[in-house]
Amino acid sequence: MNTTSRLLLASAAALPAFLAGCASPYAGVSQPAGAPVVQMRPDERGAVAGTGIESQDMVTVTDRMARSILAIPQIARAQVPPSVVLEPVVNNTRFPINKDIFLTRIRTQLNRSAAGQVSFLDREMMRTLERERELKRTGQVTASADPRGPSEFGGADYFLTGKLDGMTTRTSAGTSDYVLYSFRLTDARTSRIVWEDTAEIKKQGLEDAAYR
Amino acid sequence: MNSSRQFIAGAALALLCAGCETLPEETRPLARDSSPAATAADRRAAVPERDRVLHDYRTAAKALRAGDYDEAKARLDDAIARIGGIIANDAEAERARGLFSPESTKVFIGEPYERVMAYYYRGLLYWRDGERDNARACFRTGQVIDTGPEQERYEADYVLLDYLDGLASAKLGADGGDALARARRHAAGRFALPDYNPAANVLLFAEYGYGPRKYAGGQYGEQLRFHVEDSPSRSARLVLDGGRRIVPLPAYDDLGFQATTRGGRVMDFILGNKAHFKAAADAAADLALVGSAIASDTARRRDRRGKDDNDAEVAAVGLGVLGVIGKIASAATHAEADTRQWNNLPQRLSFAALRLPPGTHLGRVEFLDREGRVLVSRSQPVKFTVAPADRDTVLFFSEHKP
């Protein structure tokens, strides 16, 4: 084998090594596949997840709040089931949410777990109820009791409301979101907060490098 | 010896084939969404899953400008459900990072300025529905998206996102002072941001100009670049009461500026590596093929002199094989940046809050050029009704036709 051939064969041997060395275009990129979202509490997490407020958080939080409310003496030892009005939750986080869903689930949980121990007043229906009462008073529809008597619409003993606060950190290591869910029950007569409880959930994740 | 010559001819043919390119991404139709017979649902179903968010974005912007707010909300919610999560361990994203698939293989969620606009539009729609806190949540997420975590010196710098965050807080009875201070810092003296007026019951959102255009630069289209053509409309105003009341609508934010000043992406680094591989493989293949030709020529000359040189023939064939492999590898490497884009975005965003009596109001929106002259052909008559209750009336004015 002459010198030319030897050089050519050496070049040929070097080519695959050269190509192999370049084979990974994302060499040097930290965690190119990203890191899946990790929920900091031992709750179930779906395959599709973000660091925001998700259904499993809602279930966890509302279950906890419903149990907590039932344990307070004002509810557990009340002679007459107290009437509660739900006020909209205030969302101070960066996640747009269906706010009604929290209170709706707490209400249904309470109604299911402690039937008769607490009653809820349906203020969302007030316009419809007033119109119905007016129809009864004017005799346009039948009534089972005297519609001209004093109003039978119930007054609230307590107001139940909540607030969601959040804190976000975003660095090259990923995105982290902490959400504090706080709910409280306020005595309608004295304005005293008779119960308050919180739940907190923190999540973090890192997107695939293709999205960074 | 003939065998090596035949091989080189075959290699040349292979190179010719390898040079064939696929259609650039932008020339492919997104979906058959112009067919008049197809329903909106049909058109959505025809959109590939990886382009679904893009379709949502474009449809939402059209719907918003047409006053079809329910459709805009539905499309934005669909998009936000996809862009709001953390995409990790995703097979398509992994392919997009690989050598032999273009970046556009991944599910489209858009560059930060596009994602911010999805939240901005959804925020104003939440506000229109009376959900100020959810509107504020959208503006806050926009700020988070705008931060550049890979280059930690880049902080969110949209003026309006912070200004609206603070205004929503003020209207909710909280303190919006911090957000207002941030907005003023972002404005950096370019314009004066008015103090919040919690009594304002009409919120005007305006947009004008044409948004940034993506294109691929670099030898292999591996660099994502933006073309920003400064639009003639530099500001706007709402003229009410026959000209007795003029509400200025200055350009608080510029999407062209946002698209071009956010810094690089990790994906740019990956695409750069892909381009490097493509170029190196191509150069190595050239070298191997030249070597193959030299070896072949040497073998031929020795053959003429009656000398047998099997080594040169083997070298010619070997180098030829490697040259072809290199060329094929180079041609199959896709370094092109993803240039799919939300192509009906505006360039400039504006806002004003004012107090108006309930009832119907007539006026016109005027767009002004750099010298402050009214662009008459772009002016639009407007008619709107201010809600009687203490609910905010949210109005949206766009220079763009639906």
A148 in the same domain as A67: no
Residue B178: pLDDT band (50, 70, 90) is very high
Provide, rounded to the nearest whole percent, the portion of chain B with pLDDT above 90.
Answer: 67
pLDDT of residue B261: 86
- What are the chain B neighbours of A35 within 8 Å (beta carbons)? 88
What is the phi-psi region of residue A34: left when phi exceeds 0, alpha when psi lies from -120 to 50, beta otherwise? Answer: left
- Output DSSP code: residue A22: T
The b/e string for A121-138 (b: 16+ C-beta within 10 A; e otherwise) is: beeeeeeeeeeebeebee
Q: What is the mean pLDDT of chain A?
A: 81
Give the relative orientation of helices B159-171 and B132-146 as an angle to the nearest 10 degrees: 150
How many structural domains comprise chain A?
2
Give the range of the structural domain holding residue A79, as residue numbers without chain letter.
36-121+156-206
A146 in the same domain as A91: no
pLDDT of residue A9: 58
CA distance to A41, A47, A98, A166, A180, per residue, from A38 (Å): 9, 11, 23, 17, 17
- What are the chain B neighbours of A8 within 8 Å (beta carbons)? 291, 294-295, 315-316, 318-319
**In a 3-state reduction of DSSP, which class is residue A199?**
strand
A62 in the same domain as A147: no
Check CB contact under 8 Å for B138 and A11.
no
Amino acid at B398: S
pLDDT in tens, A31-87: 666 666 666 443 455 555 788 898 888 889 999 998 899 889 988 888 889 999 999
pLDDT of residue B41: 73
pLDDT of residue B38: 63
A115 in the same domain as A149: no
A199 in the same domain as A163: yes
> Is the minimum CB–CB distance between A91 and chain B shorter than 8 Å?
yes
A202 in the same domain as A98: yes
A146 in the same domain as A70: no
- What are the chain B neighbours of A168 within 8 Å (beta carbons)? 140, 144
pLDDT of residue B18: 44
- Output DSSP code: residue A118: B
pLDDT of residue B15: 47
Judge whether residue B219 has pLDDT over 70: yes
pLDDT of residue B298: 86
Question: Least CA distance to A51: which residue of chain B?
Answer: B85
**Residue A22 resides in a domain:** no
Q: Rounded distance, CA A91 to CA A76, Å?
A: 29
Residue B17: pLDDT band (50, 70, 90) is very low
**Interface TM-score (ipTM) > 0.90:** no
Mean pLDDT of B298-317: 81
H/E run at residue B249: strand B245-249
Mean pLDDT of B20-38: 47
The residue ranges of every structural domain in chain B are 25-270+337-398
A162 in the same domain as A65: yes
Question: Least CA distance to A171: which residue of chain B?
Answer: B149
Q: Rounded distance, CA A204 to CA A51, Å?
A: 6
Residue B22: pLDDT band (50, 70, 90) is very low
Mutate to test the interface with B, among A15, A24, A168 (most CBs of B within 10 A): A15
Mean pLDDT of B371-390: 91
pLDDT of residue B124: 97
Quickly name the fold that domain B25-270+337-398 has. Answer: 1.25.40
> Is the minimum CB–CB distance between A193 and chain B shorter than 8 Å?
no
H/E run at residue B187: helix B177-187
CA distance to B66, B103, B141, B362, B364, per residue, from B385 (Å): 17, 47, 30, 9, 14
**Residue A28 resides in a domain:** no
Å from A116 to nearest chain B CA?
33
Mean pLDDT of A124-145: 86
Q: What is the CATH number of the domain that holds A180?
A: 3.40.50
A65 in the same domain as A113: yes
A80 in the same domain as A185: yes
Residue A125: pLDDT band (50, 70, 90) is confident
**In a 3-state reduction of DSSP, which class is residue A195?**
strand
A116 in the same domain as A131: no
**Residue A73 resides in a domain:** yes
Å from B190 to nearest chain A CA?
28
- What are the chain A neighbours of B147 within 8 Å (beta carbons)? 170
pTM of the model: 0.83
A79 in the same domain as A167: yes
pLDDT in tens, A6-33: 655 555 555 555 555 555 665 556 566 6
